[in-house]
Structure 1
Amino acid sequence: MIAALAFYVFAAILIASAVMVVTSRNPVHSVLFLILAFFNAAALFLIAGAEFLAMILVIVYVGAVAVLFLFIVMMLDIDFSRMREGLQRYAPIGAVIGGILFLELLFVFGSWQFAPDATTLRLNATPGPEVTNTEALGRLIYTDYIYLFQVAGLILLVAMIGAIVLTLRDKPANSKRQDIAVQVARAEAVKLANPPARAGLGQLGIVRRPLPEAPKPKAVGHDDHHDHHGGGHH
């Protein structure tokens, strides 16, 4: 009873956070909702008995991938006013594509049927007591679906390179860029000096810039002083 209640609670929060990832206007908020979705998905994995997947989801996705997403989103500095300029012009095309996808989903769910033995199957984290959860997952990913796993990694690599290209496309001309050839050549080496102990800055050839003068106090006028005393006599 408690496990079923926890499943529905985590599943509801997961679906709500996933919707907020798509509908949030601020991309930083979308990434934060994505992190919330990862935590709830990890809780569902724990309920299903896949503790290794739950820990990997928290450590890798929340600790590395989500932080990378947040860094890239903040680094891109997207101009939302420019993105909304062509919204009305492309709205009919988007409506047609959305309608086609909706019809496809209707066809899929309309012809979908449960397997005869689906209700009798139970979740089993491992193929047997002699095989651990981690070993079973390794066999599945790196043996049965190794090519699909490599394609997924390639897609992530292309997405990362695309984000870097978009970031460096409109870089200001006066920004400093790294010149690896100059760093490797070390033509302009820094000369090391051995100054004597307790040597002053002047002896070392270092001249300090003079400090700005402190503002002088405003002098009190004679007339004001006289008026002050005159007011005292009255």
Structure 2
Amino acid sequence: MIQAFAFYLFAGIVVVSATMTISARNPVHSVLWLILAFFNAAGLMVLVGAEFIAMLLVIVYVGAVAVLFLFVVMMLDIDFAELRAGFVRYLPLGLALAIALAAELIVGVGAWSAGGIELAQRAAPIDPAVPNIEALGQLLYSRYVFVFEVAGLVLLVAMIGAIVLTHRERTGVLRQNVTQQVRRRAKDAIRKVDQPVGQGVEL
């Protein structure tokens, strides 16, 4: 019973927050609604027993959204004085939202303790007694190890391609020549002088 209630609660909030994400006029509000959608989607993953995916949603996506939030604040002309002025006005709403999230956590923990929702069988024949994270690791590094390595290679190529495409030559900027630095010898950098006592140094 509590699993079904938690499912409809998390799913409903995901739908509402996703709708508000694309309909909010303020980009900061849109990002906050998106973070709320990610948190509730993580709650849905916990309900079906995929706690590893739930952890990835919170750590990777919410962390990435936080970085996106910083970029939005830096790139847009946002009046921080106006935001601080509206802090007291939105304080009751913020407290209500915090209480609602705390209640969701309590419901999610209760539903997880009661047992996950069995939606389907596992994709691979692994002992059901093995935890999901351990089973996922066994699959990735045994049966799908080559696919996992190819996926990492594709991501590496994409990262290098993004760096190459965004690289621009700028005038007036000193660039580091690694090859010239490595090929440099001691005789090119220093000069030994047998300086007599009492005489100055000639530069």
Normalising by the residue count of structure 1, what TM-score does the alignment of the two structures yield? Answer: 0.43
More helix by share: 2
Identify the structure with bigger relative contact order (alpha carbons < 8 Å, sequence gap 6+).
Answer: 2
Normalising by the residue count of structure 2, what TM-score does the alignment of the two structures yield? Answer: 0.48
